[in-house]
Amino acid sequence: MSADTALIVIDVQESFRQRGYWNEAEAQPFIANIQRLIDGAKAKGLPVVRIFHVDGDGPFAMESGFIKPLAPVSFSADAVFNKSRHSALVGSGLDVWLTENGIRKVLVSGIRTEQCCETTTRHASDLGYEVEFVSEATLTFAMTHADGRTFSADEIKARTELVLAGRFARIVTVDEALSGVQRAMAA
């Protein structure tokens, strides 16, 4: 594959459905957006990499049976890596695969926006990759601060976009990510 861009799909796995904060209705727009991003990347001949988070003894443990693709998101991955840290680039082999395949630009998507997606974005940027953070193809959940204030998923996403934009990544929509790939390939 000659493209120097890869789509990274982080932690889009059934483990999250086992968490008390999971909300099926809130997840539906994410599922539609990430499937559209994956299908668009595949149509353009880009490699799509699946990352699974594996650790502990709960729903993220291999023995749980939940380390499997989040239904109904469907695709054939060009590579699959397991990670046990927030960054998909720590200890998984992803960094070696990206280098071996001449990848210089990554499109980041997945679950959770402010955790594994943001951490992988920062790490990739620090390693010299060009990064596009496809925010609408990430998912997170409301969180309560120690002071009792609850931050909505939208507020958390906005904060993540704020701290990443122009420093670690370009924040893009699914359509912008796919049109950017088209421009890069046509050049």
pTM of the model as a whole: 0.94
In angstroms, rounded to a whole number, what is the distance separating the alpha carbons of residues 154 and 121?
Answer: 19
Per-residue confidence band for 79, with pLDDT thresholds at 50, 70 and 90: very high
* pLDDT over 80 at 66, yes or no: yes
Do residues 113 and 160 touch, judged by C-beta distance below 8 A?
yes
Beta bridge partners of 7: 48, 107
* pLDDT over 90 at 183, yes or no: no
Count: domains in the chain: 1
In angstroms, rounded to a whole number, what is the distance separating the alpha carbons of residues 77 and 68?
Answer: 13
* pLDDT over 70 at 187, yes or no: no
- Percent of the chain clearing pLDDT 70 (strictly above): 95
- Percent of the chain clearing pLDDT 90 (strictly above): 93
In angstroms, rounded to a whole number, what is the distance separating the alpha carbons of residues 81 and 99?
Answer: 15
**CA angle centred on 77, ends 76 and 79, rounded to 5°:** 150
**CATH number of the CATH domain containing 76:** 3.40.50.850
Angle between helices 24-43 and 174-186 (to 10 degrees): 10
In angstroms, rounded to a whole number, what is the distance separating the alpha carbons of residues 104 and 132?
Answer: 11
Find the domain containing 58 and state its range.
Answer: 5-186
The amino acid occupying position 105 is K
3-state secondary structure of 8: strand
Encode pLDDT of 100-129 as tens digits: 999 999 999 999 999 999 999 999 999 999
* pLDDT over 80 at 3, yes or no: no
Mean pLDDT of 140-162: 97
* pLDDT over 90 at 38, yes or no: yes
